[in-house]
């Protein structure tokens, strides 16, 4: 059978299966993300029905999915809101790094993998998955909640921190000279600063370049600019997700509203492809030996990530339910963790690091959307209400 024909059959059949899984998830009131991941595992390397012809298609589609998720998340907020939130969340970003990077580093040392592997594992446990979290927040209808700017600030700070971390890690594990590594970091930071400056200072002028009421030119223009900036950002060792998010931030007004409407179907399609590819690129056989350590690491760092998000929301004056929503929403790790693990293993570090990272990410990505729903449960709301009434009673008694 011709390769293109086989690709069409594989992609078409898988999309039909995903449609059924999505309907099942909606019927039972759960996020479809875990089902998409399991579907990817079933058709990936070592799965039940491996799909070889379409792997490259899903890889490219996955990259587009992350870019669209972050760009459209950026469309929800103005440059002024972003800058105010970043300033407010600086301490929260530092706390987030300490609470989540340190456990990963200590885990690597306890496993006896050496300090370089520990540095890599610190990055794997530190950074949340912007793509997964964006999807979860949209599925749960929380994009307008008060805690969302806090969540976005933590994600953006993490992604911007990767502009420093990834070049430094590359220099350490590959043996790049200090000067070359410093130049790479400086270039990455400079690019982020330029994109952010343009977004904040010239956002309105940039929006005028796109015809708000002409759907086809608007679609092509916004999508083209987003992918162009994301690609340029990636070229200089900055996350493509950061570039896409900042493009979304820069576009405002009616253009942003209309772009959100016309890009939504594309985002839904490619976001699904992203989650499928994540499972598709993983061999279940590699996961089994490291499953227990991955579970231990996931439990510890999901707890520390929840604590970091809770404290960040408290500093921003968010109520107790919003604090829990912020903390639990941040638990999934994803694309950055896999990139870091791949970089470390390619450089000849601990071979078990890659399957551990894959198992760890899968656990957090499956558990994260389920944990994010807990604050909406009636038993949780009742518990928060009882705690608030008890605190008010103690305050009244003490006065």
CB 325 within 8 A of CB 333: no
Q: Does residue 220 fall inside a structural domain?
A: yes
Q: Does residue 339 fall inside a structural domain?
A: yes
Cα 233 vs. chain centroid, distance in angstroms?
A: 17
Report the C-alpha gap between 176 and 120 in whole angstroms: 16
**Confidence at residue 185, expressed as pLDDT on a 0 to 100 scale:** 65
**Confidence at residue 308, expressed as pLDDT on a 0 to 100 scale:** 93
Angle at 284 between CA 281 and CA 285, to 5 degrees: 120
**Confidence at residue 125, expressed as pLDDT on a 0 to 100 scale:** 94
Largest CA distance in the chain: 81
Structure tokens at 245: 């998010």
Structure tokens at 197: 């400056």
**Confidence at residue 117, expressed as pLDDT on a 0 to 100 scale:** 86
Q: Does residue 268 fall inside a structural domain?
A: yes
Q: Does residue 65 fall inside a structural domain?
A: yes
Report the C-alpha gap between 118 and 181 in whole angstroms: 19
CB 161 within 8 A of CB 97: yes
Q: Alpha helix (H) ranges present in 202-290?
A: 203-207, 215-235, 240-250, 253-280, 284-287
Cα 19 vs. chain centroid, distance in angstroms?
A: 23
Q: Does residue 392 fall inside a structural domain?
A: no
The dihedrals phi and psi of 210, each to the nearest 5 degrees, come to -110, 135
Domains of the chain: total: 1
Q: Which residues contact 226 (CB under 8 A, 6 or more apart)?
A: 67, 68, 71, 244, 247, 248
The dihedrals phi and psi of 236, each to the nearest 5 degrees, come to -105, 30
CB 288 within 8 A of CB 79: no
pLDDT (tens digit, 0 to 9) for every residue of the chain, 399 residues total? 677 788 888 888 889 999 999 888 777 766 677 788 788 888 877 677 777 767 788 888 888 887 887 788 778 767 666 666 667 777 888 889 899 999 999 999 998 888 888 988 999 999 898 778 887 888 888 888 888 888 888 887 887 777 667 667 766 766 555 566 667 667 766 766 777 777 777 777 778 888 888 889 999 999 999 999 888 877 776 667 777 877 887 887 888 888 888 988 888 888 888 878 877 776 777 788 889 999 999 999 999 999 999 999 998 889 888 999 999 999 998 767 877 776 676 667 777 787 888 889 888 988 888 899 899 888 888 888 888 888 777 777 776
Domain span including residue 210: 58-282+289-375
CATH of the domain at 317: 1.20.1530.20
Q: Does residue 102 fall inside a structural domain?
A: yes
Q: Does residue 317 fall inside a structural domain?
A: yes
Tell me if the pTM is above 0.75: no
Q: Does residue 6 fall inside a structural domain?
A: no
């Amino acid at each position: 059978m011709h390769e293109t024909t086989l690709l069409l059959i594989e992609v078409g059949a898988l999309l039909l299966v995903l449609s059924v899984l999505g309907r099942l998830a909606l019927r039972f009131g759960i996020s479809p993300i875990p089902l998409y991941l399991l579907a990817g595992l079933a058709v990936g390397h070592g799965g039940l029905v491996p799909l070889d012809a379409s792997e490259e298609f899903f890889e490219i589609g996955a990259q587009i999915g992350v870019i669209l998720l972050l760009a459209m998340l950026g469309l929800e907020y103005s440059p002024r809101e972003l800058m105010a939130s970043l300033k407010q969340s600086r301490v929260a970003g530092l706390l987030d790094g300490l609470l989540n990077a340190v456990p990963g580093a200590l885990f690597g040392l306890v496993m006896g993998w050496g300090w370089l592997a520990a540095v890599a594992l610190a990055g794997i446990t530190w950074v949340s998955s912007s793509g997964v979290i964006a999807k979860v927040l949209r599925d749960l209808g929380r994009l307008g909640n008060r805690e969302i700017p806090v969540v976005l600030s933590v994600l953006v700070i993490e992604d911007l921190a990767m502009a420093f971390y990834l070049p430094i890690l590359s220099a350490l594990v590959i043996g790049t000279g200090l000067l070359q590594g410093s130049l790479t970091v400086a270039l990455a930071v400079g690019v982020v600063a330029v994109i952010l400056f343009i977004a904040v200072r010239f956002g309105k002028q940039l929006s005028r370049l796109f015809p708000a009421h002409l759907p086809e030119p608007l679609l092509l223009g916004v999508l083209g600019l987003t992918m162009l900036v994301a690609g340029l950002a990636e070229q200089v060792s900055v996350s493509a997700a950061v570039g896409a998010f900042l493009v979304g931030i820069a576009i405002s007004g009616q253009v942003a509203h209309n772009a959100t409407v016309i890009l939504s179907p594309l985002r839904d399609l490619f976001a699904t492809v992203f989650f499928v590819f994540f499972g598709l690129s993983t061999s279940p056989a590699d996961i089994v030996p490291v499953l227990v350590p991955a579970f231990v690491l996931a439990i510890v760092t999901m707890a520390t990530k929840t604590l970091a998000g809770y404290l960040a929301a408290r500093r921003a004056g968010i109520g107790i339910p919003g604090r829990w929503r912020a903390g639990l929403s941040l638990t999934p790790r994803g694309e950055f963790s896999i990139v870091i693990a791949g970089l470390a293993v390619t450089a000849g570090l601990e071979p078990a690091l890659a399957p551990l990272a894959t198992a760890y990410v899968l656990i957090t990505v499956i558990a994260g959307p389920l944990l994010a729903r807990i604050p909406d449960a009636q038993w949780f709301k009742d518990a928060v209400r009882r705690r608030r009434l008890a605190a008010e009673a103690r305050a009244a008694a003490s006065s």
